[in-house]
Amino acid sequence: MSHTIIQAFADSVQKHAHRTAVVGEDGSELSYAELDQLRIYAARALLAMGVARGDRVAIWAPNSVEWIVAGLAIQTVGAALVPLNTRMKGAEAAYILEKSGANTLFCAGRFLGLHYPSMLAEHWPKSLKHVVVIGDAETGDTGWRAFMAKADQSHTEDVQQRAATVEATDTLDIMFTSGTTGRPKGVVTTHAQNLDVIRAWSAVMGLVPEDKYLIANPFFHTFGYKVGWLGGLLHGLTVLPHAVFDAAAILQRIARDRISVLPGPPTLFISLLNDPARATADLSSLRATITGAAAIAPSLIERIRAELGFRTVLTAYGLTETCGVVSMCEAGDDAETIALTSGKAIPGVELRCVDAENRPVAPGESGEIVVRGYNVMQGYLDDAKATGETIDADGWLHTGDIGVLDERGYLKITDRLKDMYIAGGFNCYPAEIERIIAAHPAVAQVAIIGVPDERLGEVGKACVVLRPGAALGDKELIAWCRDNMANYKVPRYAEMMVSLPTNPSGKVLKYQLRDLAKPAV
């Protein structure tokens, strides 16, 4: 059995050489053999640029075939992949590049109206030596073709020799996730543990080579990357990247390309169900989906089955710190179990709910969700203190989420110890958003809370105390936020307040802010 991602991909290429591996949004296709050749060329180019085993190489670009090629090449040469959220602004991206020590970056050219290299220009990290632009390169950019041409400066044998040195315990990727400190932390995971998680997830999903897997979930997220294109390719599927979610375009692609597997957050399915084009779209090819990242009404599960035609509808729970997966429902579970729980622990993983003294609570009782097993991260990059605060001496990772385990071992998530909320499938960390808003010259104090939203599940609300004599409107603040942070982090509401409620030690009582935000019954 393969022990590294690249060994597993080589096995898949050998089995499925002539099958279609990827299909671009323009309809272009690559077989597994052709994708493998592009992987080798890109790896040769990375070697020519001096990328060494253990280096960090980042990708800051939307879903595309080139993203997959670059990702495989990075893993082939033994470097660690560092995915960056495409909604980040220059300063946010620069922080992660600097923190990870990335020396090479693959980034979008012009995307969503912004030129990514220009956003980075005034925040250029010291470690960064090379930038390769994927798509819409402008004058002065090193484009994808120019990058691939560098392959002529090295040999396939060099790539094979480098790939042979990669071990199961080597770092596969460093994925940055925010937290209570307000600064993103790099989650370090290895080839072997990700490979095992992908195998477990794919077995529950029942993936088969005949499946066509449309991935609208962003590749910078574990959902779109690890159990997305990587899981699909390791099991011989046809993977179809999709860059920008648009319900009408997704419906067209389902019909045109005969999509059978389409995971996503609940918002994806709500958008598909609500789109007028659904009534006439041919969705007969749809077979399996899995969702999570937000509370799901049982009625939505039934609608996904009845109106979109999925035969397998599952729910799951995971964190970046667990290679993306902790628990999953199974195909035979009833609709109520699938809608109201996040399944049971995947094989080889332990799951508990514990009290404040770290003691397991009885089934049916509420406690903090803790996880132990092969899927738990190696730690946070260069942050032993944060790692020690998250993983205890017995190896249990403390998630900060509150849940209940039933007699069957099925998990229901009920609350969060931390203030994190999920907007449209994206984790939003108030401390990080508060840190950015606090830099506004008119702001004296700010607290961010999550409030209910029919379409996105939750959105942010900024509760703001202004500096004496300062004037700032809610729309003006929100517009400023759009210029200074990723869109999904931008609060959708803002309220200017005389003061924020605090306890005797001065800590803001966010539960009171949430209570105030609830609509009157």
Nearest in space to 321 (alpha carbons), one of 161, 478, 188, 508: 188
Q: What is the pLDDT of residue 429?
A: 79
Buried b / exposed e along 375-400 (16+ C-beta atoms within 10 A): bbbbbbbebeebbeebbeeeebbbbb
- pLDDT at position 297 is 67
In a domain, 329, yes or no: no
pLDDT of residue 401: 87
Provide CB contacts within 8 A for 210, sequence distance 6+: 260
User: What would the pLDDT profile of 397-414 be if each residue is shown by its tens digit?
Assistant: 999 888 899 999 999 887
167 conformational bin, left if phi > 0, alpha if psi -120 to 50, beta if neither? beta
Task: Provide the pLDDT for residue 512.
Answer: 87
179-206: average pLDDT: 89
Would residue 285 count as lying in a domain?
no
Answer whether residue 138 is part of any domain.
yes
> Whose structure tokens read 């729970």?
317
Mean pLDDT of the chain: 92
Domain boundary among 237, 268, 296: 237
> What CATH number has the domain bearing residue 169?
3.40.50.12780
184 or 58: which leads in pLDDT: 58
Residue 81 lies in a domain: yes
Q: What is the pLDDT of residues 115-152, one digit of tens each?
A: 999 999 999 999 999 999 998 888 889 999 999 999 99
pLDDT interval class at 295 (50, 70, 90): low
Q: What is the pLDDT of residue 293?
A: 58
| Nearest alpha-carbon partner for 493 in 457, 521, 452, 455 | 452
The answer to whether residue 167 sits within a structural domain is yes
Domain termination site, one of 170, 204, 237: 237
Tell me if 150 is assigned to some domain.
Answer: yes
Mean pLDDT score, 386-394: 96
Confidence of residue 317 (pLDDT cuts 50, 70, 90): very high
Site of tokens 């315990």: 169
Q: How many structural domains is the chain composed of? A: 2
Of 181, 211, 237, the last residue of a domain is 237
pLDDT at 506: 56
Q: What is the mean pLDDT of residues 103-121?
A: 94
CB 420 within 8 A of CB 231: no
Assign 426 a pLDDT band (cuts: 50, 70, 90): confident
Structure confidence by residue, pLDDT tens digits, 194-207: 999 999 999 999 99
Instruction: Write down the pTM of the prediction.
Output: 0.85
Q: Is 227 within the bounds of a domain?
A: yes
482 CB-near residues (< 8 Å, 6+ apart):
490
CATH of the domain at 467: 3.30.300.30
Domain residue limits at 497: 423-517
Q: Is 148 a member of any domain?
A: yes
Residue-level pLDDT at 521 = 39
